[in-house]
Amino acid sequence: MRRILLSTLKILISAALLYFSLRKVDLYDLASRIQVGSLGWLGLAIAVTFLQIFLGVLRWREISAECGAPLDTRQAMRFNVIGTFFNQTLPSSIGGDAVRLWLVARSGAGWRAATYSIFVDRAIGLIALAILIFATLPWSYQLISDPNGRSALLLLDLAALVAGLGFLLIGILPWPWLKRWWATHHVHACAVIANRVLFSRDHGPKVAVLSILIHVVTVVICWCVVQSIAAPATFGQVFQLLPPVMLITMMPISIAGWGVREATMGLAFGYAGLIANEGVNVSLLFGAVSFLVGAFGGLVWILSPEKALGKGDPSWRPTDTVPNSSD
């Protein structure tokens, strides 16, 4: 019952935010702006989205190996593509993570190792996004003259930085109770793994570069969408505005970020002195690109061997091993 209520609430939030975002948007005008040339830009956006998924695979492989859930590239790519489908269908912007966790666990890695790999992957992505936003704050402040917009951006980024760095701090604190107390045991174990990944010579530089690249590629996808409808926004403006929008969209309060993304993008464009409705238009097409990629992920899911695999299958023998957090 609780799950049904939460899902219903997220649907209502998405519907309400989409309604308020689309009240002043002329969808017929938006459709008329998509010409033959636009299809090329949208096709490029789809292709770059698959590149982004592949970069995510490379990072996830580095992290999952440290979590005791090693994945080969082909398998991880399949799991990530399937995850994009469930990101579009489950009542959350991170629904695909739950499916990836399930797939990894049933592949033989075990539920604990699978959970850690997904959680650490998400945490490192959040930290990288917060650092990217912080590094570009001087240019963002030049773009955003509205004091409310500046304050909102600063508070949002500080909250993300405190959460991310606080998570890493948990992994290096010597307090024994962090390992024993039920409320912090798994968080501490994940923090230890995250520190081991980020500050190791073998994994650290590669994971850091991949994490930043993933977010930069998101900007490139959005830029392709901007070009497809000739929206009046430069690449630099998109680079400043999109990361904070994506940070807010990560909150699991809607269906695949719909509504939250449109409302936030329109607000961001308005704070930057751009046309707010164009922000909503760009967000709608950005979501459409994600939806199309997710549809391909649905086809991969239908054809995947994991879909037919049941618990009674003798090949499914999960374990719950994971590297000791005290190492």
Whether the CB-CB separation of 53 and 81 falls below 8 Å is answered with: yes
C-alpha torsion 208→79→43→128, nearest 10: -20
Across 152-178, average pLDDT: 94
The CA-based angle 262-268-270, given to 5 degrees, is: 105
How high does pLDDT run on average in the chain?
85
What pLDDT does 317 receive? 42
Separation CA 326–CA 185 (nearest Å): 11
Separation CA 113–CA 101 (nearest Å): 9
Give 108's DSSP letter: I
Give 305's DSSP letter: H
What percent of the chain lies above the pLDDT cut of 90?
57
Kindly list the domain boundaries of the chain, sorted by start residue: 42-305
**pLDDT (tens digit per residue) in 7-53:** 666 667 666 766 665 666 667 777 777 877 788 999 999 999 999 99
Given pLDDT bands bounded at 50, 70 and 90, which one contains residue 320? very low
Contacts of 41 (CB under 8 A, 6+ apart): 224, 225, 227, 228
What pLDDT does 228 receive? 94
Given pLDDT bands bounded at 50, 70 and 90, which one contains residue 315? very low
Whether the CB-CB separation of 134 and 100 falls below 8 Å is answered with: no
Q: How many CB atoms lie within 10 A of CB 119?
A: 22
C-alpha torsion 199→98→56→187, nearest 10: -10
Across 69-77, average pLDDT: 92
pLDDT higher than threshold 50 for residue 304: yes
Contacts of 210 (CB under 8 A, 6+ apart): 55, 56, 58, 59, 62
**pLDDT (tens digit per residue) in 202-231:** 899 999 999 999 999 999 999 999 999 999
**CA–CA distance from 172 to each of 63, 117, 121, 232, 238 (Å)?**
18, 19, 18, 47, 36
**pLDDT (tens digit per residue) in 174-209:** 899 999 898 899 999 999 999 999 999 889 999 999
Q: How many Cα atoms are found within 13 Å in the side-chain-facing hemisphere of 291?
A: 10
